[in-house]
A and B are shown apart, each in its own frame.
Chain A
Amino acid sequence: MASPVRTPAAPTRSTGRPKRRWGATVFGVVVLCVMLFPLYWMVNTALQPESGLLEVSPFPHSLDLSGFRSAVTDQGRNLLTSLAVALGAVVICLAVSAPAAYGLAQFRLRGTRTIVFSTLITQMVPGIVIANALYSAYVDMGLVNSYAGLMLADASLGIPFAIVLMRSFMVAIPREVIEAAEVDGAGRLRTFVRVVLPMSRNSLITAGLFSFLYAWSDFMFALTLNTTDDVKPITLGIYQYIGAHVGDWGSVMAASVLSAIPAAVLLVLSQKYIAAGITGGSVK
């Protein structure tokens, strides 16, 4: 939005003529259309009735909401399950990683480097390997087919990332601020809650956002740690849907649209956090 105002002042490259710039915009729009076409097609298919054995027409001529109706009937409960599991995972993730990030950033403890190092390494362990071992442990502990079990497993997807991200943020909090609070008589815990957490709000939001997305998109733990239909997130629901209802693509796509909505909403609401999270969490 601000760029048309600013550009005349900063002709960094020689291609600064207005016509060329609108040419780039056109090209950008074309790229975007190609990249987003599958998502458009998902919405388009969802709005067309019983399109399983026919070609889908390029536009939904008459809006048919029966796909959405049956998706809500069949998958509504799974959507709520996903929501509950993802929110639970976010709470666990932040509760575990925020204090740790603070400790690793500000306390001078021996072993800090080793812990940060192992945190980086855990991000590289393939999920299926974790599921492989976790399954038998879960059987022993009675955590298979339970909300708590899936929340814990899904929280593990976000925790290493959250620690790394929040730590890199909390390192920048001046030691004087924390010492001042402690001198004023606040205990260590109160300092953390009253001073450190509010100052790190942005990184908490980013970490929470990403752990929500990780948990929401999780398919592998949902697939492996559940043997009954008691706890079935939407990702697993859709996967089983295509197995059972290949003819009814309208409903499958409607369910897909519903499952993609949180991502779309999050993107709109928190663009800057998402970009910060993708770059911050991976490069640092």
Chain B
Amino acid sequence: MSTTAVSAAAAPAPVTKKAAKPPNPARARLRRRLAQWGFIAPAVIFMALFFGYPLVRNIVMSFQDYSPSTFFTGSSPFNGTDNWSNVFNDELFGKALWHTVLFTVGSLIGQFCIGLGLAVFFSRRFPLNGILRSLILLPWLVPMVVSGVVWRRILDQDTGVLNSFLGMVGLGDTPWLTSPGMALVSVVLVNIWIGIPFNMVILYGGLQEVPKELYEAASLDGASAWRTFRSITLPMLRPVITVVLVLGFMSTVKVLDLILALTDGGPADSTQTLGTLTYQNSFVQLDFGAGAVVGNILILISAVFAVFYLRANRNEGK
């Protein structure tokens, strides 16, 4: 077996009867190609149906008039740019866009800073490090709706544990989820909690790749901990940081579960984002055309960051 393997590797063409049998090498190659594509085809078809089709369909739908009656009559006439102008003229769209920006930026900053802090902390050696580190992953594995529901209980103004705890230091009675001014902050805080484990794991992985000699050299030079962090850790981590931030962005900008479970977009639309607005338009108002418009804008925003991601990824990979 090993001899055949070696000879096959050295001269792949004339080894077995397979190559000897078919008289027409071009046809044999075609058959081989087809067989090979057979492995890939199911995935390509699946992704075309579940990603390609929706992308195209959304663009078409954004120019169509979908109303609840469409589902009875089956007709959805084209209506030019009506959907687009309706959405842009709706005051709620501007609000949702602004909330999306605040939600995304706030979540990213919080998740990243705490995640990085914990990653650095767990890079030190101390007893039980491994167990503690893997238990911190738990919140990330719980369904997001469930996290949302649990936090909704914790943040309850009158009977939630956070307020009764804060009450002990004289700070209770914050209307976390029920006041329009506070709700978005609360939603961001909960989303930071959800994102910490992911940020921590990836950044921790990145930290392990930093050559130990650099730290030894730094400590020989008498560099302070902060100086070492700024001049060695951060620059060496840069590619990983880019990936973490871009992936964090992609998953934050489309968050739906959490917001629906915590506030349903309320109170007074104060936690409505582009994601929840797409849902509201399509599945609550049954105006799929308007939903498609908001969805397309969401994709456009994601696409800009996808470019960043792919660029970061390419530098990383090859």
Contacts and interface: CB of A to CB of B under 8 A. Distances in A.
A99 B42 contact: yes
Given A120-B313, A253-B150, A259-B143, A31 B39 contact: no
B232 to A, nearest CB: 13
Contacts of B306: 121, 124
B47 A119 contact: yes
B42 A96 contact: yes
Interface stretch (B85-93, B105-113, B295-303): B295-303
Interface stretch (B20-28, B178-186, B256-264): B256-264
A54 interface: yes
Contacts of A263: 138, 141-143
Nearest to B118: A31
Contacts of B310: 117, 120-121
B47 A159 contact: yes
Interface in A95-121: 95-97, 99-100, 102-104, 107, 109, 115, 117-121
Interface size class of B (residues with CB under 8 A): 35 or more
Given A32-B135, A132-B291, A7 B141 contact: no
A28 B132 contact: yes
Contacts of A29: 128, 132
A219 B276 CA distance: 13
Given A134-B50, A135-B282, A219 B144 contact: yes
Given A97-B43, A124-B302, A274-B134, 11 more contacts: A13-B219, A32-B135, A131-B283, A156-B46, A176-B9, A217-B143, A253-B149, A253-B150, A264-B138, A279-B201, A284-B317
**A-B complex: 10 closest residue pairs judged by Cβ atoms:** A100-B43, A103-B39, A126-B254, A263-B141, A133-B54, A217-B143, A133-B57, A24-B126, A180-B5, A156-B50
Interface of A: 1, 3-4, 7, 10, 12-16, 21-22, 24-25, 27-29, 31-32, 35-36, 38-39, 41-42, 45, 51-56, 58, 95-97, 99-100, 102-104, 107, 109, 115, 117-137, 139, 152-153, 155-156, 159-160, 163, 175-177, 179-180, 183-185, 188, 192, 213, 216-217, 219-220, 223-224, 234-235, 238-239, 242, 249, 252-253, 256, 259-260, 263-264, 266-267, 271, 274-275, 278-279, 282-284
